[in-house]
């Protein structure tokens, strides 16, 4: 084993990017007994995190508590100075990798900038880990050449390079990073071995050493798999709607057969990962043209528009037209009981309804605004509405009194995109009820 591949007796870690992934990782390192520094170009993030305050929305209470704990113990610090990384023996990169909305190709501006700014300050022998989700081939075609060009180093001799993609999600940030298995993809086998002792300090999950390429494919395939499964559930839901069946009953019946696992349909797929990771995976090939994953993306992206169609149909059945109707959306966040609005289906639905001429109101107890739409924290905003559309399955909505809610509305229409309410309860409260996958 080369000198660069050997673990250090006393690790000093650094995390580049202190967003959802980076801050959670930084805190996990500190909790694991590794003194670590978090670097970010955003001075406000640096200052808030350094004081033990969450610098973004969407964090769970467990992360807030852990951050305060590791800051109070002096296990982590934050900085906007890249020179502070010079003493680090291991540096983890957690910066965004979005896709271009026009051609669905990966945009690596953030990763390139992070490497360009920090690489000159890294010390020989350092372990470099890319935690960001990236398209297959990025480690060999972008990351490795960037380090070699900037420093003139040879991988496995002067530094170690690993791709260990994150597996965190809002509302389960600390839980996931502490318990999930991790895929540790080394550019060389020795590089992967170098990273294992650190990850054993972070997670109780199993570690899977492999190649960097296999790790890249694995992470993007994880979310592409989920996207395809959700698309199947959504397509099944629309079939059930037309034929007059209940997709949730059908789903249970299908899943009673061994080896079947139909996912939940719904008003749309949001979040940072699932809407983009299938495109990252597909972007890596040039000869083969994937068709299944792009088709799944189209289905899932179309679900908010489908919900708008259900609203329009329900209004028409009640003798009202959508132009001039007041439609209140229940939910702005993409995930229940969080304030995470990244790629939220509610935004697509709100804009579609507005374009059709409706007055759109949004209620969410966890979110204050959704782009150009203000968001009310409680159901008082539904006063005088003609229709309610459930977009997010917040607990607060599940506990709502439909009878009292309906009494405040002009027209009692309820379109459920998340299976929050039963048709029986809605009917008892005087609502015309419809929903994704709920045939009449």
* pLDDT tens, position by position, 113-133: 999 999 999 999 999 999 999
Whole-angstrom Cα distance, residue 276 to residue 219? 12
Angle made by CA atoms 412, 373, 316, in degrees to the nearest 5: 30
Whole-angstrom Cα distance, residue 85 to residue 15? 9
Whole-angstrom Cα distance, residue 104 to residue 7? 39
Nearest to 297 by CA among 251, 248, 250, 235: 235
Q: Is the per-residue pLDDT at 428 higher than 50?
A: yes
Classify residue 78: in a domain, yes or no: yes
- Based on the fold, state whether residues 260 and 174 are members of the same structural domain: no
Q: Is the pLDDT higher at 265 or at 7?
A: 265
**Structural domain that includes position 29:** 3-212
User: 């839980």: which residue's tokens?
Assistant: 175
- Based on the fold, state whether residues 329 and 374 are members of the same structural domain: yes
- Based on the fold, state whether residues 346 and 270 are members of the same structural domain: yes
- Based on the fold, state whether residues 162 and 297 are members of the same structural domain: no
Catalytic-labelled residue, pool 45, 219, 276, 352: 219
Between the two ends of the chain, the Cα-to-Cα distance in Å is 67
Classify residue 320: in a domain, yes or no: yes
CATH number of the domain within which 293 lies: 3.40.50.720
> For all residues of the chain together, what is the average pLDDT?
95
Q: Is 162 helix (H, G, I), strand (E, B) or coil?
A: strand
Active site residue 273: yes
List, for residues 137-194, the tens digit of each pLDDT value.
999 999 999 999 999 999 999 999 999 999 988 888 999 999 999 999 999 999 999 9
* Domains of the chain: total: 2
Classify residue 372: in a domain, yes or no: yes
- Based on the fold, state whether residues 41 and 111 are members of the same structural domain: yes
- Please report how the helices 61-72 and 20-31 are oriented relative to each other, as an axis angle in degrees rounded to 10: 50
Classify residue 347: in a domain, yes or no: yes
* pLDDT of 169: 84
Average pLDDT over residues 377-394: 97
9 pLDDT tier (thresholds 50, 70, 90): low
Classify residue 226: in a domain, yes or no: no
**Dihedral Cα 87, 199, 186, 42, nearest 10 deg:** -50
Catalytic-labelled residue, pool 13, 27, 240, 273: 273
- Based on the fold, state whether residues 52 and 95 are members of the same structural domain: yes
Active site residue 73: no
- Based on the fold, state whether residues 208 and 246 are members of the same structural domain: no
Beta-strand pair 387-390/413-416: parallel
- Based on the fold, state whether residues 265 and 398 are members of the same structural domain: yes
């Amino acid at each position: 084993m080369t000198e660069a591949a050997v673990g250090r007796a006393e690790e000093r870690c650094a995390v580049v990017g202190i967003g959802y992934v980076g801050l959670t990782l930084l805190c996990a390192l500190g909790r694991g007994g590794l003194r670590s520094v978090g670097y970010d170009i955003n001075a406000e993030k640096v200052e808030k995190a350094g004081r033990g305050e969450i610098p973004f929305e969407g964090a769970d209470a467990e992360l807030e508590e852990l951050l305060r704990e590791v800051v109070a113990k002096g296990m982590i610090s934050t900085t906007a100075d890249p020179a502070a990384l010079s003493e680090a023996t291991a540096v983890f990169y957690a910066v965004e990798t979005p896709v271009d909305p026009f051609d669905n190709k990966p945009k690596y501006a953030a990763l390139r900038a992070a490497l360009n700014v920090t690489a000159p300050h890294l010390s020989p022998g350092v372990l470099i880990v890319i935690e960001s989700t990236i398209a297959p081939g990025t480690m060999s075609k972008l990351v490795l050449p960037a380090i070699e060009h900037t420093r003139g180093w040879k991988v496995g001799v002067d530094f170690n390079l690993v791709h260990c993609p994150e597996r965190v999600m809002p509302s389960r940030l600390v839980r996931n990073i502490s318990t999930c298995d991790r895929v540790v993809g080394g550019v060389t086998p020795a590089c992967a071995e170098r990273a294992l002792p650190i990850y054993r300090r972070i997670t109780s999950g199993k570690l899977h050493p492999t190649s960097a390429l296999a790790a890249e494919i694995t992470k993007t395939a994880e979310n592409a798999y989920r996207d395809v499964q959700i698309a199947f559930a959504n397509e099944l839901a629309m079939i059930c709607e037309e034929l007059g069946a209940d997709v949730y009953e059908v789903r249970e019946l299908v899943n009673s057969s061994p080896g079947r696992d139909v996912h939940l349909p719904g008003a749309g797929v949001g979040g940072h990962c699932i809407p983009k990771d299938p495109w990252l995976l597909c972007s890596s090939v040039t000869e083969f043209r994937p068709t299944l994953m792009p088709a799944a993306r189209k289905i899932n992206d179309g679900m908010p528009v489908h919900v708008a169609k259900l609203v329009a149909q329900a209004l028409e059945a009640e003798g009202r037209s959508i132009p001039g109707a007041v439609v209140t959306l229940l939910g702005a966040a993409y995930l229940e009981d969080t304030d995470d609005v990244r790629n939220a289906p509610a935004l697509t639905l709100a804009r579609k309804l507005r374009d059709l001429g409706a007055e759109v109101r949004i209620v969410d107890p966890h979110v204050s605004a959704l782009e150009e739409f203000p968001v009310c924290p409680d159901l008082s905003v539904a006063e005088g509405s003609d229709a309610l559309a459930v977009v997010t399955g917040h607990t607060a909505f599940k506990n709502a009194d439909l009878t009292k809610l309906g009494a405040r509305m002009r027209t009692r229409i309820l379109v459920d995109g998340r299976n929050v309410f039963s048709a029986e309860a809605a009917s008892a409260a005087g609502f015309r009820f419809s929903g994704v996958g709920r045939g009449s």
